[in-house]
Amino acid sequence: MYSKDDENYFIVDAHIALWDARPQNLRNIHGKQFIDCFYDYHRNLSPESEVWSYEDYLYQGGDRLMKDIFDEGHVDHAIFQPAALGEFYLNGFGQTEEAFALAQAHPDKLTYNHNWDPRFGEQGLKQLREDAKRFDLKGAKLYTAEWHGDSRGWKLDDIWSYRYLEAAQELGIKNIHIHKGPTIRPLDRDAFDVADVDKVATDFTDLNFVVEHCGLPRLEDFCWIATQEPNVHAGLAVAMPFIHTRPKYFGQIIGELLYWIGEDRIQFSSDYAIWTPRWLVERFVDFQIPEELSEYAPLTTQQKKKILGLNAAAMYDIPVPAELQLPREEPQAAAVA
């Protein structure tokens, strides 16, 4: 919980990771390129006081994660969204066993989502059924830019992807977080195209699709799809830290999202460990859309409360103490499918 100016905020960090990019886990040069790319995002967009050493950045471990997110980060509940990256890291990037054990030790604080890759075919489907049972999955993280043999990406509307989504629906894995990387093959087309989200959102109306970094760098395509599909949501991973480096630009992103999809379908996340939640939560509570952007209405406290936690809590059935909920007459996250 975070309190400021007599207002209390219930905080859900909807996208965190427990990763291992230390040298002994690198499979090849691409593992190093990947974590270096993350580290550049971290260094470039964090306030100076929040920048970690490269060594700290390679691996955090459970104790540090608990401290950064809960002891210091104001967060009430956080959701693991692991990327597998088996082609880059020997034991994968997201540390499944370690993160799951942590979630089991702190079930009130942590939810573990897992991932799948439809290119594993029947065997992967069988694994998905086992994972759903073992991890009691409510959600999954899909990184469509995973490499796999000769393939360097997949689309949500591939035939095998449909089979996995059908299984997810049957297994009660309702919340599908999508991280669009430069993935679309053939390369003739725009690699960040989000059109496949449109198709699966139409065909799987029982599932929620949370598009991380709100479709950036294709915000316009994302917003247009989200206005058509009530089960498409915006995750603020990667967009959040602009609040520090480019506050005016951050105001434009939030202003656009509120205009196109409204206050019930936007979720806060720090994208830990790319960034830490404390400063992001504090800055967001203090944030206001700059006056010169007269095309947007000011951001309200109710909107901030929904974005910082109540929306994701509603999607994941996370209990919110009565005093931290909004007054009853105002519907919360009415659009959650």
Partner 1 sequence: MGSREQALAALDAVIDPELDEPITELGFVRSLDVDGGRVTVHLRLPTSFCSPNFAYLMASDSKDALVALPWTREVVVELDDHHDSELINRGLAADAGYRGTFAHEAEDSLDGLRETFRRKAHTAAMERVLTRMLRAGLAEADLGDVTLGDLPDDDATRALLRRRAAIGLGAGPGLPVLVDHAGTTYRAEEVPLRLRMARATRISIDGNAHFCRGLLATRYPDEPSRGGDPVMKEAAS
Q: Residues in the site for partner 1, rule: CB under 8 A? A: 30, 33-34, 36-37, 40-41, 43-45, 145, 150, 152, 181-182, 185-192, 216-220, 223-224, 242, 245-246, 248-249, 252-253, 256, 259-260, 292, 294-295
DSSP 243-267: HHH-HHHHHHHHHHHHHHT-TTSEE
19 three-state secondary structure:
strand
CB 193 within 8 A of CB 218: yes
Provide, rounded to whole angstroms, the least separation between the CB of residue 221 and partner 1.
8
254 or 336: CB nearest partner 1:
254
Instruction: Compute CA distances 312 → 214, 236, 267, 303, whole Å.
Output: 15, 12, 6, 13
User: What would you report as the CA-atom Rg of the chain, rounded to the nearest whole angstrom?
Assistant: 19
Provide, rounded to whole angstroms, the least separation between the CB of residue 125 and partner 1.
25
Distant-in-sequence, close-in-space partners of 249: CB < 8 Å, separation ≥ 6: 242
Q: What angle do CA 301, 141, 158 make, to 5 degrees?
A: 125
Provide, rounded to whole angstroms, the least separation between the CB of residue 154 and partner 1.
13
Distant-in-sequence, close-in-space partners of 217: CB < 8 Å, separation ≥ 6: 192
Neighbours of 217 (CB within 10 A): 12
147 or 160: CB nearest partner 1:
147
Neighbours of 328 (CB within 10 A): 8
129 or 248: CB nearest partner 1:
248
Q: Is the peptide bond before 186 cis (omega within 30 degrees of 0)?
A: yes
104 or 259: CB nearest partner 1:
259
Provide, rounded to whole angstroms, the least separation between the CB of residue 133 and partner 1.
34
21 three-state secondary structure:
coil
7 or 40: CB nearest partner 1:
40
72 or 259: CB nearest partner 1:
259
Provide, rounded to whole angstroms, the least separation between the CB of residue 175 and partner 1.
25
51 or 101: CB nearest partner 1:
51
Provide, rounded to whole angstroms, the least separation between the CB of residue 97 and partner 1.
27
Provide, rounded to whole angstroms, the least separation between the CB of residue 151 and partner 1.
9
Distance of alpha carbon 125 from alpha carbon 304, whole angstroms: 39
Provide, rounded to whole angstroms, the least separation between the CB of residue 263 and partner 1.
17
41 or 59: CB nearest partner 1:
41
Residue 112, phi-psi category: left (phi > 0), alpha (psi -120 to 50), beta (remainder): beta
